[in-house]
Structures are given as C-alpha cells and as structure tokens.
Amino acid sequence: MGRIGLLAVTAVLASTLVACGQSEPVADLDNVSGGEGSTVYPVVLDNCGETITVDAAPQRVVSLDQGSTEILLSLGLADRMVGTASWTDPIRENLVAANASVPRLAENAPTYEVVLGADPDFVTASFGRHFEQGGVAERNRFEETGIGSYLSPTDCDNGVSVNGGGKRTTPLTMDSLYQEIRELATVFDVNERGAQLIDELQSRETTALAGLEESNVSMAFWFADTKSPYVAGGLGSANLLATSVGATNAFAELTDDWPAVGWETVVERNPDVLVLADLLRNRFPGDLLADKIAFLESDPVTRNLDAVRNKRYIALHGAEMNPSIRAVDGLEKIVAGLRDVQVPN
C-alpha cells in the first residue's frame, strides 16, 4: 500500500489517538461482585505448569499488575479487590470510577509482607517475575498461607513463565488473553460477564481492521531506555499488533519479548514508523513520550532515521504494548495512525 498518510506527534496525536478506543467502554458491566451461580466448584486449572484448585469464588483478591487489575475491574469485581500494584499508565478511562475504591499497594511491585497485610485469599499476576525468587513471593509461599495464585496465560510458554526466566517458542496470540478472561470469569463465577467482555474486544478488533489495506510498512516498537533501547521482538504482544495490521516488525527475528539493542542496529534497520511507549511511570530516562522524541531528534545517531526526519511516530501507552485488554486499544491507535502516515514505496 503506497499511501497511508503522515502522523506527527502534536496535540492532534495526543487527542485523537488517546481518544481512539480508550474512551470507549470495554463492556457495559456493573461493579456488583455477586456471583452468577454458573460456576461449579471446585475449579481445577492447569496454570502455567501449576495445578490450582479453587473451592469457592475468591472474595479478597490482590492483582500484582495493571493488566490483571483492568481485567478484574472489567469483570465487575472492584469490591472483591483489596489491592493492586505495578502501574505504568493511568487507569483505562471507563474503569476510573471502579478503580477508585481499590487500594494501590505500590506503584511497582509490592513486598510479600505488604501483600499479606491486605489479607487476600487470591493473588493474580500478568507477569511471572512476581512469582519468582527476588519477586513478590514464589507461588508455593502463597499456597502455604492458604492464598491461591493465578498467572496470565499470556506469560506462559510450554508450562514456563516467559517473564519468570523462560523463553517464548511460539508467537503470542489473542487467544491467550481470552483464555485469561474466561478462566478468571470462571474462578469468580461471572462467566456471562467474561463472555460479554470477550465479545466486545473481538468486535473492536474486527471493526478496527475492517477495510485496512495490506501494507509494506516496517515498524519498530521502543518501550524504554535511551542507552540500549528495549524494542519489541518477534513473538510477543507488540509484534502481534504489527502483524495484525499487515506491517513488518523490524526486529521480528529476535525471540525475547523486549530485547535490548544498540541504536546503530535501529539505524541499520531504518524502520518506516516508530511506535513509542509513553510510560507515565517516569522512572527511567526516556519513559515519557516527550523525552523519547527529544532524544530521537537530538541524538546524532538517531536524528537521521527516516521515521525521525519525517516524524512518523505513533504513541501508545505501555500497557497497550503488553498482552492485556489494552492491546486492543493499541491496535485501534496503530490502525488510526497508519491511515494518516505516508510512507514512500
């Protein structure tokens, strides 16, 4: 496809792209936590190499990541949540009210003692690093205190956590996200809400991609770090966004979700479009979108990239590059961006 427009990061990008998808509700769900009576307990799940048994719907859950939190809130479970942690971005707009009642235990990973202080009966996580030595606590430590645990299938490959030290061997698909929603909906006895959420997300995917022409655009996803940028490899969530819109990930041959590379390598690949994470956590140099752009346009190595000279940037929240319900927001923003970016044949 020869014509797909020019997208510069201006106030227009900030307003139009953030508005695309993020202001739309994921599903018309209330926040009443009463079960539907459709789950038969005990529920037994094979969860990333662990067999977990849930004898009754959890009533006091701590979610250790933003992605897990937003799924639980979207399932209408706010008043069963006693803690959340590990945030990169503002809460999704349609979940602001529900999230206001959930205690934030830490901006990043909480300690095991802080989690125990919330007196949970169940703990969920998007990334397995929380359940490894040096993380919050290993899963058997939670089990010893009678606390159930659940890890997102999006972080699992052949029974091993990718972020817990494993490696992906097959590309991530949205099926793993939908499996997570179905399983959590079953555990919490809100199966109908889970089905409704999946239907809504799938419908938005279909709508976003409708009429999108095949493209020969290459793109690189920069998540963080100005010294050795973390870019999207070829098996994770960001690569899925690229392939879904018919684009090519400039680092598709790398198997880590977010490998660190040198800027010289980025210049050699010279992607047509740069997809930039706007991480409002602002913990490290280059987390913020404005800092990323300032670096790209001033650094003598990067300022001559075609995408930089032509300001072909698409901005996503960090959560929209990760495997979560926000990935659909990211898909919508990339589609909108590509329709306004012009790349020479």
Between CA 135 and CA 166 the distance in angstroms is 15
Total domains in the fold of the chain = 2
Q: Which residues pair with 104 in a beta bridge?
A: 84
- Which helix (H) or strand (E) segment holds residue 53: the answer is strand 50-54
pLDDT tens-digit map of 268-321: 999 999 999 999 877 788 999 999 999 999 999 999 999 999 999 999 999 999
Same-domain check for residues 47 and 184: yes
pLDDT of residue 15: 34
pLDDT of residue 12: 32
pLDDT tens-digit map of 191-230: 999 999 999 999 999 999 998 876 789 999 999 999 999 9
Same-domain check for residues 191 and 215: no
Length of the chain: 345
Same-domain check for residues 231 and 324: yes
Between CA 37 and CA 56 the distance in angstroms is 11
Q: Maximum distance among all alpha carbons in the chain?
A: 62
Residue 37 maps to a domain: no
- Tell me which residue range forms the domain holding 229: 11-23+211-338
Same-domain check for residues 91 and 161: yes
Between CA 154 and CA 68 the distance in angstroms is 11
Which residues, including other chains, have CB under 8 Å from residue 31's CB and lie 6 or more apart? 73, 76, 77, 78, 79, 98
DSSP class per residue in 212-242: PPP---EEEEEEE-SSS-EE--SSSHHHHHH
Is the pLDDT reported for residue 28 higher than 70?
no
Residue 89 maps to a domain: yes
Q: Which residues pair with 279 in a beta bridge?
A: none
pLDDT of residue 345: 61
Residue 227 maps to a domain: yes
Please state the pTM of the whole predicted model.
0.88
Query: Final residue of a domain: which of 172, 205, 238?
Result: 205
Query: Final residue of a domain: which of 154, 186, 205?
Result: 205
Same-domain check for residues 149 and 180: yes
Q: What is the CATH number of the domain that holds 226?
A: 3.40.50.1980
How far out from the chain centre does Cα 299 lie? 29
State both tokens at 313: 């940037």
Q: How many CA atoms lie within 13 A of 216 on its CB side?
A: 6
Query: Final residue of a domain: which of 162, 182, 205?
Result: 205
pLDDT tens-digit map of 82-98: 999 999 899 999 999 99
